[in-house]
Amino acid sequence: MIVLGISAFYHDSAAAIVRDGEIIAAAQEERFTRVKHDAGFPAHAIQYCLDAAGVSLEQVDRVGFYDKPLLTFNRLLETYVSFAPRGLTSFAKAIPVWVKEKILQKELIHKGLNRLGRGTIAAEKLYFGFHHHSHAASAFFPSPFEKAAILVMDGVGEWATTTIGRGDGNRIELLSEIRFPHSLGLLYSAFTYYLGFKVNEGEYKVMGLAPYGEPKYVDLIRDHLIDIKEDGSFRLDQRYFDYCTGLTMTNAAFAELFGGPARRSSEPLTQKHMDLARSLQAVTEEIVMRLAATARRITGEDDLVMAGGVALNCVANGRLLREGPFRRLWVQPAAGDAGAALGVALSIAHEVGGAPRMVHPNDAQQGSLLGPDFGRDHILKLIETRGAKAEELADDALFTTVAAALADEKVVGWFQGRMEFGPRALGNRSILGDARSPRMQSVLNLKIKYRESFRPFAPIVLKDDSAEYFDLAAESPYMLIVAPVAEKRRRAMTAEEAGLFGIDKLKVARSDIPAITHVDHSARIQTVDAGRNPRLHRLLDSFKAVTGYGVLVNTSFNIRDEPIVCTPDDAWRCFMGTEMDMLVLGNFVLRKEAQ
């Protein structure tokens, strides 16, 4: 049975294809169109998936869409009615779009598919899944667990904002939910908006900002914004929010509560903003921990899987892993809506089509390397077209050369094999640097990525060496766990250094791997094993042979406000448009000074 999964029309459109329950391919539309968070019909991603599977639409048994648009429209109408007369302006803007496009999504999807030039498919083959069921399926079916508790947390899907369920074999059962407008994801987005970042994009910046602050506003948040119950359920006081009926996330009451209007993106960050971020993160972690405890009690399972946008909160994930109550944790790498395209395809394959589920010891996500690959001929054509100067090396020479460049503090664009699926670069579309370098963090932020100086960088580390550098008891192959840097790696702080506040904390090297050690001595870790990514593993091995350190900086191969690169040409343009020193395309090495 061949199933095509689609998510679209909100943010991060994507497609995935599954054959008899096995993942064949998955990709986000933004990587092809170069429009970050592209929400349009994922034509390019679908074409790629069909081509990767070697099938036409006639050979596809079912097409799954990740949610039910009519239920979402029902929620929209009921919300406006219940809040009337508030929200008339927002209503006037939203309803025409919904009537014109959203209600007719089945027709839009059907026509979109049949215009792709990949054959045709009958409208009867289209299936609409529930949003949180799609997320749940994306988390459970690729996981390495035969049975597991499921926790889905996001902004909203139809009516659900938080869902607890259980997976067993090739079946999923959703057991309880929290409903809109009470949403942990929307609470986080409200503060993202108030702190001057883009909603559905800047939430990870808030998480990165939090360690610079103190949790001074936790009581204010708990006393006014959110009522948290012992079981992790909660209610938000809608008097402070505008997302139900307005055009912004927060309102005047929210601004009055926190002593001023929302920060404009052009305005500097202050200690107050950092304290708000830290306070929000503390409240978020408290809710996640309580919800996990409830999931453990309801399901009786020892293992937990998670999806939904909130599952990308790596700091909360790290606490879950360290403090329990579950034995093991697996998070879908594409935890946001893009991953729901994969989830609905897997759900149809297993729960509708009855495909047996094979549980893989690592997982069935294949390192999340599910996107397009570009071979030697494609790279040679790019080199010729661009008039680039490149040297082709055999593997032994390649890894030795790149390891030496990294040890010399060079910044390397590393482009290999299949593109990653999900928001993280996992070593195939990555920019790499030396984690030992005290200047690497600022070089990458200011000369390569052109992004905010406060944001930390993540390490990649040989799986077998991870305990040498981090207090991490489990693997973290998808960069979804934050853990402390090992005590033996930390350097003693002077009294002056320990007394620094806010952004001034950036000036201090906190360990012998300062480029990836955040101001709270934490790191967002990706462990690398030879099974999931043999070439990245070999590069780390080669770097260790030169330096004695099996750890590097890994950041996504893109600049600010652009998607991660997809093609060799995308990589070339990023390389030439930044101060990157070296570009490695497969086995071809391009040095900036030679161009």
161 lies in some domain:
no
| In a domain? residue 397 | yes
CATH at residue 233: 3.30.420.40
Whole-angstrom distance, CA of residue 509 vs CA of residue 519: 9
pLDDT classification of 402: cutoffs 50, 70, 90: very high
CA 396, CA 538: separation in Å to the nearest integer? 10
Same domain, 406 and 519: yes
Q: In this structure, are 99 and 192 located in the same domain?
A: no
Which residues, in sequence order, are bridge partners of residue 164? 151, 176
589 and 502 inside one domain: yes
- Dihedral, CA atoms, 414, 419, 420, 423, nearest 10 degrees? 80
Query: Based on the domain organization, do 117 and 245 belong to the same domain?
Result: no
Is position 188 within any domain?
Answer: yes
Which residues in 338-405 belong to E strands, given as ranges?
391-392
Residue 520 lies in a domain: yes
Residues 408 and 546 occupy one common structural domain? yes
| Residue 187: pLDDT band with limits 50, 70, 90 | very high
What is the spatial distance between Cα 283 and Cα 218, in angstroms, rounded to a whole number?
A: 7
Cβ-count burial of 436 within 10 angstroms (0-12 exposed, 13-18 middle, 19+ buried)?
Answer: buried
> What is the DSSP secondary-structure string of 112-126?
HHHTSSS----GGGE
Range scoring the smallest mean pLDDT among 69-73, 142-146, 471-475, 520-524? 69-73
Residue 242 lies in a domain: yes
Q: CA of 24: how far to CAs of 15, 21, 120, 350, 426, in Å? A: 11, 9, 20, 15, 18
Residues 394 and 408 in one domain: yes
Residues facing residue 522 across a β-bridge: 484
Is residue 11 within 8 A of residue 185, CB to CB? The reply is no
Quick one: 359 and 396 in the same domain?
A: no
Q: Which distant-in-sequence residues (6+ apart) come within 8 Å of 574 by Cβ? A: 413, 557, 558, 559, 562, 565, 580
The verdict on 302 and 196 lying in the same domain is yes
- The residue to which tokens 């070593």 are assigned: 427
Whether residue 295 sits in one domain with residue 278: yes
Query: What number is the average pLDDT over the span 314-342?
Result: 97
Model pLDDT for residues 344-366, shown as the tens digit of each residue: 999 999 999 999 999 999 999 99
Q: What is the CATH number of the domain that holds 402?
A: 3.90.870.20
How far, in Å, CA of 483 to CA of 152, rounded?
22
Do 312 and 344 touch, CB atoms closer than 8 A? no
Q: Does 492 reside within a domain?
A: yes
Taken in order 75, 79, 82, 88, the sign of the CA dihedral is: negative
Number of domains the chain is built from? 3
Structure tokens at 251: 């309102």
- pLDDT tens by residue, 190-202: 999 999 999 998 9
565 plus 429 within the same structural domain:
yes
pLDDT tens digit string along 437-446? 999 998 998 8
Residue 523 placed within a domain: yes
In whole angstroms, give the CA distance from residue 267 to residue 261.
Answer: 12
* Interval 265-275 mean pLDDT: 95
| Burial class of residue 517 in the structure, from the number of CB atoms within 10 Å of its CB (0-12 exposed, 13-18 middle, 19+ buried) | buried
- Which 8-state DSSP code applies to residue 475? -
Instruction: Please compute the mean of the pLDDT values over residues 412-432 and round it to a whole number.
Output: 98
Burial environment of residue 325 by CB neighbours within 10 A (0 to 12, 13 to 18, 19 or more): middle
Distance CA 306, CA 339 (A): 12
Secondary structure element (H or E) that encloses residue 536, with its range: helix 534-547
Of 318, 342, 364, the residue at which a domain comes to its end is 364
Is there a single domain that holds both residue 308 and residue 337?
Answer: no
Q: How far apart are CA 216 and CA 194, in angstroms?
A: 17
Same domain, 259 and 325: yes
Range of the domain at 11: 2-142+333-364
Q: Is residue 588 part of a domain?
A: yes
Interval 565-579: pLDDT, tens: 999 999 999 999 999
Average pLDDT of the chain is 95
For residue 477, is the peptide bond before it cis, meaning its omega torsion is within 30 degrees of 0? Answer: no
Q: What is the pLDDT of residues 27-86, one digit of tens each?
A: 999 999 999 999 999 999 999 999 999 999 999 999 999 999 989 888 888 888 888 777
Cis peptide bond upstream of 325, omega within 30: yes
